[in-house]
Amino acid sequence: MNPTIPQCLIDQAYERDPASASAEFGAEFRSDVESFINLEAVQACISRGTLERHPRSGLRYLAFTDPSGGSSDSFTLAVAHREDDSLILDCLREIRPPFSPEAAIAEFASTCRSYRISRIIGDRYAGEFPREQFRKQGIGYDVSNKSKSDLYLDLLPLLNSCRVELLDNPKLTTQLIALERRTARSGKESIDHPPGAHDDLANAVAGVLASNLVLRPRLRIFTYPVVGSTPGCELDPKTMRPIERERIRWRKVNQSPR
């Protein structure tokens, strides 16, 4: 209805969040509860037959955990890395209740060390308890500054654009497509699992992939001198001696997320 809005802007909005764009640009009414992630979008990102990717040298891995007290919800861990514009899920672990939280943290800390991870990201569950237990295992614990809904909102455009490579985990797929978008009377939206269901695996995966989004390649300068009568070296017109200069190389390195 508004010809001044570029079509490319509308297309980008539909790619990021189809449901929100339909309400904004398509004049479609939104229900209080609706499906959040499409099954076809998730299936297009699954690496069929790949249950886990082993650690490789030269890669920087991040880990995200969704802690649990051991009585009702699962304790989950997700490990991922970034390759150019793609986000690769490498490892997904779940410990189902009942279990000992201390034993679960010790197991996950061992997994983190195998991927050369010294700090983990997680939510604020149980206050200081999981942070202290991870520190005892030599793993730092950083509290995520994003809510669960924000993590899922970051994950949606990644799935829709096939920028992620997921593991072949049927339970993860089930949890992702079961997520619901709820709109309160105030207009505030939230994304969560249906009543009586769980999203422990989905939350860990959304957290680790959204955390990898902050990793951006940066350019760092490496210099090396040109000495002696190197072929192609410039000569000073007064002294006719080689001019020592510094040549600059640029190499991409990963930037710390913090």
Q: What is the pLDDT of residues 94-143, one digit of tens each?
A: 999 999 999 999 999 999 999 999 999 998 887 889 999 999 999 999 99
Range scoring the smallest mean pLDDT among 20-24, 49-53, 116-120: 20-24
Confidence class for position 53, pLDDT limits 50, 70, 90: very high
The pLDDT value recorded for residue 223 is: 42
CATH architecture of 31-213: 2-Layer Sandwich (3.30)
Range scoring the smallest mean pLDDT among 111-115, 202-206, 218-222, 244-248: 218-222
Confidence class for position 217, pLDDT limits 50, 70, 90: very low
Summarised one tens digit per residue, pLDDT across range 73-85 is: 999 999 999 998 8
Average pLDDT score over residue span 250-258: 45
Give the integer Cα–Cα distance in Å for 222 and 228: 20
Give the integer Cα–Cα distance in Å for 209 and 82: 9
Average pLDDT score over residue span 22-33: 59
Q: Where are the domains of the chain?
A: 31-213, 221-254
Confidence class for position 247, pLDDT limits 50, 70, 90: very low
**Cα 128 to the center of its chain, rounded Å:** 24
Give the integer Cα–Cα distance in Å for 204 and 93: 9
Average pLDDT score over residue span 85-89: 94
Summarised one tens digit per residue, pLDDT across range 167-200 is: 999 999 999 999 999 887 666 789 999 888 999 9
pTM greater than 0.75 (yes/no): no
Confidence class for position 19, pLDDT limits 50, 70, 90: low
